[in-house]
Amino acid sequence: MNFIEASLCANEELYTLLHVKGLVQEHHLAFDVGAGGDVSVGIDLVAEKIFIKYLLPFGEIHSEESGVIKSPTASARIVLDPIDGSENLLSHLPYYGTSVAYFEAGKCTQAVIANLANGDVFIKDEKGLRRGKIGSKNFLHVEKNSFSKVGIFERSYASLQMHEKLHNAQIKYRSPGAFALSLAYAHEVAFVLYVGKMRSYDVEAGLFMCERLYTFHQGDIFLVSKDKETLDKIIGLFKSD
C-alpha cells in the first residue's frame, strides 16, 4: 500500500464512521487547544487516530490536533488536518473533510483532500490532479470549469470592507467554512479568497493542488483563480483604497 492508497483507506474508514455509525455524544466533547490553535473536539481526535494508524509508517505527522507525531520507520513529513470544517460537521452543515500533504526533501509531492459530506476526493501526485469518490478506484483528471458563476470567500465575516467591495463589483461568492476543501474545488469555482493568517495544516495540500492556477499572496490576503482576468479584478479591489 502506498501513501495515496493509505490516505484513501483512512478517509473511507472515517466516512463510514460518520455516515453509517454516526456521531455520538463523545464526538462533541471539547478537549484542550490543539497545535493549530483551536479547541480540539472528540471527532477531531478520533479522525486523527485513524490517520495515524494508516500514515505513520510513511513519515512524521504534523497534525493540527496533537502537533508532531514521530514515525519509527520513515523521515518524510506529513501535514494533516484530520477534520477540515469540524464546526460545520458538528452543526450538520454538509461541507467538511480532511486534508493531508506528503513532503519529501522539503517539497510537497503527494496530497489528498476529501469531502466527507458528499464523498468527493481529490488526489495529486506525479500523475497530476484527479477527482473521484471515497471507496471508488475510478479517478479522472480535473479540468477547469469554464462555467463558474460564484467564487468562495473563506472567513468573509472577518473582512466586512472586502465584502462591500465584492458586492459593489457584483462578484458573487459563498463562504462555506472549510479552507482546504475550498482549495480542492478551486478548479471548479470562479476563485477562492482568504483573508487572515493561514496555517500550514489548512493549506499545504490545497496549495499543492492549485499550483497550476493563478495565485496572489500579500500580507494576510490569499487569492487563487483559474482565470487571470478574475484574479486581477479582485486584486484591483484590494488596491483601490
* CB distance 206 to 229 below 8 Å: no
Quote the CA–CA distance of 194 and 155 in Å, as a whole number: 6
Q: Is residue 38 a known part of a binding site?
A: no
- Residue 228: which H helix or E strand, with range? helix 228-238
* Long-range contacts (CB closer than 8 Å, 24 or more residues apart) made by 38-44: 38/64, 40/65, 41/86, 41/90, 43/83, 43/86, 43/89, 43/90, 44/82, 44/83, 44/86
185: left (phi over 0), alpha (psi -120 to 50) or beta: alpha
Count other C-beta atoms under 10 Å from residue 24's C-beta.
Answer: 12
Q: Is residue 64 a known part of a binding site?
A: yes
Interior/surface letters 163-193, b for 16+ CB within 10 angstroms, e for the rest:
bebbeeeebebeebbbbbbbbbbbbbbbbbb
Q: Is residue 81 a known part of a binding site?
A: yes
Q: Name 137's bridge partners.
A: none
Bind-site residues for Mg(2+): 64, 81, 83-84, 202
Bind-site residues: 64, 81, 83-84, 202
